[in-house]
Amino acid sequence: MKYLDEIRKNLAERREQGLFRQRSELETLQGAHIRVDGKEYINFSSNDYLGLSSNPELIATARAAAAHWGVGSGASHLVCGHFSAHENFERDFARFVGKPAALSFSTGYMANLGVISALAGRGDAVFADKLNHASLNDACVLSRAEFKRYPHNDMAALERLLSASTASHKLIVSDTIFSMDGDIAPLKELLALAERYDALLYLDDAHGFGVLGNGRGALAEFGLSSPRLIYLATLGKAAGVSGAAVAAELDIIDWLINAARSYIYTTAAPPLLAETLSKSLELIAEENWRREHLQRLVALFREGLSDHAARLMESSTPIQPVLVETNAQALRMSAALKEAGFWIAAIRPPTVPTPRLRVTLTAAHSEDDVKNLAACLRKLLEEAA
């Protein structure tokens, strides 16, 4: 089989280049402390920023919701799979982020595919940051709109593209917090350009929801409000559960219900998740101590690596990448950290342009966890110098 031989060759090349990916099996709940293959680790790779994924109140809510609703929805939302639990969560979410209406999706990837392809098509143009998440890029390509990418956070370049465009409709697409760098997009400037050039602005707040704006996300953090804004939050990170939600004007939400293929043509997520997510919104709003503790940990980590500041990226968020020279070095350091009891993924091209250790901090970590990690990283960076 020629095709299979080529696949084997490509896999061998990835192994040689240090780019081969494989999975690891967790034997515990997700959290700051995990067990993999019988060994205990302090986990610095999870996006469970508020430590809610194993929260007892959410687990109790999920159990009660499963007993009430069952464990499956049985159909798509538009057939007979849209439960009152879904409706209640969408109402709660829209109110929580300050938008008129919301729509829930099974995953953030499906949300991005559905929203962008529903709002842009042939004759339109989509303008996207070059460091946007892969799901946003895929959605832009699949939309069949003209796909224009501007250098990371370069508002002058974006304005040149917008001013030169003769597209029927314009859509600007950006992450809020960039998942591999940890920096924040210039959101006020993006909205100003959307207003100036009559564009819609779609913001993927996957890593900001629950963390920024007292938990209400990037719009609240920067005081942004406009009917042009379409807001996405993924719900398997800081919210601790699963899925995604998009909030916007009611007419846009109604259009997505009618035109977003990844919403229309898939089985709805189990209603037990929707009910659990409504409870998660309550905890995010009430338990500000989680964000306060998280910010202390971010400052502590950066202080612990102040002698190696050149290795750190400009990030004030829980995503704290540590840059390294080569793929091989990233893999060696990741292995050394695991030997020392720290679970940290080595992120390499093509996911990122330069290899790095992607450290993520959560409210479930202790100060000692972070201090010990910083000390171990200092030693490894000094040995590699």
152 annotated binding-site participant = no
179 annotated binding-site participant = yes
Burial state string for 196-226 with b = 16 or more CB within 10 A and e = fewer than 16: ebebbbbbbbbbbbbbbbebbbbbbbbebee
348 annotated binding-site participant = no
Distances (CA, A) of 364 to 15, 288, 289, 344, 375: 34, 13, 11, 16, 19
The Cα–Cα gap between 229 and 219 comes to: 9
- What are the E-state strand segments in 88-198? 101-105, 125-129, 146-150, 170-175
CA 340, distance to chain mean position in Å, is 28
- Structure token digits, residue 258: 């009618």
The Cα–Cα gap between 173 and 142 comes to: 14
CA–CA–CA angle 244, 246, 248 (5° rounding): 170
In 3D space, the residue among 225, 291, 280, 269 whose CA is nearest the CA of residue 92 turns out to be 280
109 annotated binding-site participant = yes
207 annotated binding-site participant = yes
Instruction: Collapse the DSSP code of 9 into the 3-class scheme (helix H, G, I; strand E, B; otherwise coil) and give the result.
Output: helix
Phi, psi of 301 (to 5 degrees): -65, -45
In 3D space, the residue among 209, 204, 216, 212 whose CA is nearest the CA of residue 176 turns out to be 204
351 annotated binding-site participant = yes
Burial class (CB in 10 A: 0-12, 13-18, 19+), 154: middle
- Structure token digits, residue 164: 């030169």
354 annotated binding-site participant = no
Q: Tell me if 114 sits within 8 A of 250, measured CB to CB.
A: no
The Cα–Cα gap between 349 and 132 comes to: 15
CA 93, distance to chain mean position in Å, is 17
216 annotated binding-site participant = no
Residue list for the binding site for substrate = 21, 133, 351
Residue list for the binding site = 21, 108-109, 133, 179, 207, 234, 351
Residue list for the binding site for pyridoxal 5'-phosphate = 108-109, 179, 207, 234
